[in-house]
Amino acid sequence: DVKVTQSSRYLVKRTGEKVFLECVQDMDHENMFWYRQDPGLGLRLIYFSYDVKMKEKGDIPEGYSVSREKKERFSLILESASTNQTSMYLCASSPSTGANEQFFGPGTRLTVL
Amino acid sequence: AQSVTQLDSQVPVFEEAPVELRCNYSSSVSVYLFWYVQYPNQGLQLLLKYLSGSTLVKGINGFEAEFNKSQTSFHLRKPSVHISDTAEYFCAVTQGLGFQKLVFGTGTRLLVSP
């Protein structure tokens, strides 16, 4: 079974803190994604990585950065958390060939106070 | 850029009734289409996908969807729903070179009551 795990299910941080969200996949997938999910807005792509150390901005990259030092791990970084970054964050992975499905982790619900 | 429209934000239905969740996408060029389901407090799980071939696609849990190129639609159907089908459903379409990225609709919450 493909498994995508995220480091925390729930996280509470204070405004201005640096926040790290970690995602690990065990299927040797080339592609990894970070989305945020907000009611009424669906899933919006923050960043996409298609290889180690390679990244591409998604639709809403402002206020976020990413790191992919190893193939299986993709980190999302909030340099200085703000209250408008309170959201559900979903990580996904997919193989690079064909239009294969994306496999999702369980999500991290982040609250910034 | 691609866009996906799910017009119904919420669909209430009684148990054992049929249901249709609507999805329309913007582009008429070749696309791949997906339906995902999200149960409460969980990530997304693939229900079904259309890549090519037969326009009627069958998925898990008795769901099916029909790809209609002329209408640019990919509606999801189930002939008889269960309480356990209560969840949020997302339609998605590929975007970009190599079809690596997905664009998601805003989701439809299916509420099944006894």
Contact status of B40 with chain A (Cβ, < 8 Å) = no
**What tens digit of pLDDT does each residue of B40-97 get?**
888 999 999 998 888 899 999 999 999 998 899 999 999 999 999 999 999 999 876 6
Residues of B65-102 as b/e, b for ≥16 C-beta within 10 angstroms?
Answer: bbbeeeebbbbbebeebeeebbbbbbbbbbbeeebbbb
Chain B residues lying within 8 Å of A58, measured CB to CB = 101
Query: Are A42 and B46 an interchain contact pair (Cβ–Cβ within 8 Å)?
Result: no
* Run of H or E residues at B72: none
**What tens digit of pLDDT does each residue of A75-105 get?**
999 999 999 999 999 999 998 877 678 999 9
In this complex, which of B42, B44, B99 lies closest to A99 when CB atoms are compared? B99
Report d(CA B114, CA B107) in Å as an integer.
Answer: 23
Query: Are A106 and B105 an interchain contact pair (Cβ–Cβ within 8 Å)?
Result: no
Contact between residue A53 and residue A74 where contact means Cβ atoms under 8 Å apart: no
Query: Are A98 and B99 an interchain contact pair (Cβ–Cβ within 8 Å)?
Result: yes
Chain A residue with minimum CA distance to B47? A101
Q: Which has the higher per-residue pLDDT, A7 or B100?
A: A7
Report d(CA A75, CA B5) in Å as an integer.
Answer: 30
Chain A residue with minimum CA distance to B30? A99
**What tens digit of pLDDT does each residue of A57-72 get?**
999 999 999 999 999 9
3-state SS class at A24 = strand
